[in-house]
Amino acid sequence: MDLPVICVVSKESNMGKTTVMRALIEGLTQKGFRVGTIKRVHTMQLDQPGKDSWIFMEAGAHSVAILGPDQSALIRRTESEEFPQDVLSELGNIDIALIEGFKQGPYPRIEVVRKEKGTKPVSPPEQLVAVVSDVEISNVPYPIFQFNGLEALVSKIIQDFLIPQSSEAGLTHLDTTGAARMVDVSDKPATLREAKAKGRITLLPSTLTLLLQGNMPKGDVFSVARIAAIQGVKETSRLIPLCHPLPVSSIAVDFLVVEPDSIEVTVRVKTYGPTGVEMEALTGVHIALLTIYDMCKAVDKSMVMGNIRLVEKLGGKSGSYIRKE
């Protein structure tokens, strides 16, 4: 799925587009999605309190592009007027782009209408995602949202644009006969993707003390477990039957001692590829925990591993995911 792009438009100025933009940015950001924004202006006034670029960043936007008649804010001179499609690729690693204004574009639109300006949208019905209004509107083929109910609009955008829809209306790891298969990612673009996973092992307090003192019979537990996690990440496609081999570009392994009896393992993995590295991060955590068990089992066979979970995922068509812990 290509990057979702939605325009927030209105018939005239000063009708509440910025209010809607801010609510969408805040709502999507709180759900873990990275939002890029584009705004057309007549004069360049950047990041001054009260200006839209400042408002968007305060709301949590990942990036803001400002398009002027003869310069754009990145900032650079332009030989001619620029359009949203000219800068979308420069908004960084985002999940969705929101454009304020720009009624000429082919993108889906959220239109703001006001009672005093007339409640009939100017956008073609086939482009309307929703209408935001200060009055009740009935008997129309598009959803209506009030200014005090924009949380529901955020949920609609996530459902319609950011949650992947399987083309087969079923499990993508099954073919038409129900047999297992590796998903074909040949046509998916390579993008930057990250995943972070965590897990915990609980030991006897006396075992943890020995470990921290470096007195385990097999040696330096953390060093060996770190190498094991890295090896586990790199071997994931060999261990999990339907995982794709990926060119992993970065693996970070961290250990947090939680007194008096636990160690939390965190593994973060990055790649530039057509599919994500969630399984790689989770596998790294599993292997690190198993290695800690193996290194310590001579003195403690009661250790318990658990709470292994994905805590963060960035990039890809399904957008960002951040677990609320």
> Any idea which residues carry the catalytic annotation?
294
The 3-state DSSP class for residue 7 equals strand
DSSP string over 142-164:
S-EEEGGGHHHHHHHHIIIIIS-
Question: Omega into 260 within 30° of 0, i.e. cis?
Answer: yes
> Residue 157: what are its φ and ψ, rounded to 5°?
-65, -45
For residue 319, which amino acid is it? G
Give the β-pairing of 144-146 and 128-133. Answer: parallel
97 neighbors 38 (Cβ within 8 angstroms): yes
Q: What span, in angstroms and rounded, lies between the C-alpha atoms of 127 and 123?
A: 7
Q: What span, in angstroms and rounded, lies between the C-alpha atoms of 287 and 290?
A: 5
Of 206, 217, 202, 187, the residue nearest 295 (C-alpha): 217
For residue 99, which amino acid is it? I
Q: Which residue, chain included where needed, has tokens 């609320």?
A: 324
Across 84-161, where does the E strand assignment appear?
96-100, 109-113, 128-133, 144-146
Residue 30, token pair as written in the block: 């709180």
Evaluated on CA atoms 271, 236, 162, 54, the torsion sign reads negative
For residue 34, which amino acid is it? R
For residue 105, which amino acid is it? G
> Residue 284: what are its φ and ψ, rounded to 5°?
-60, -40
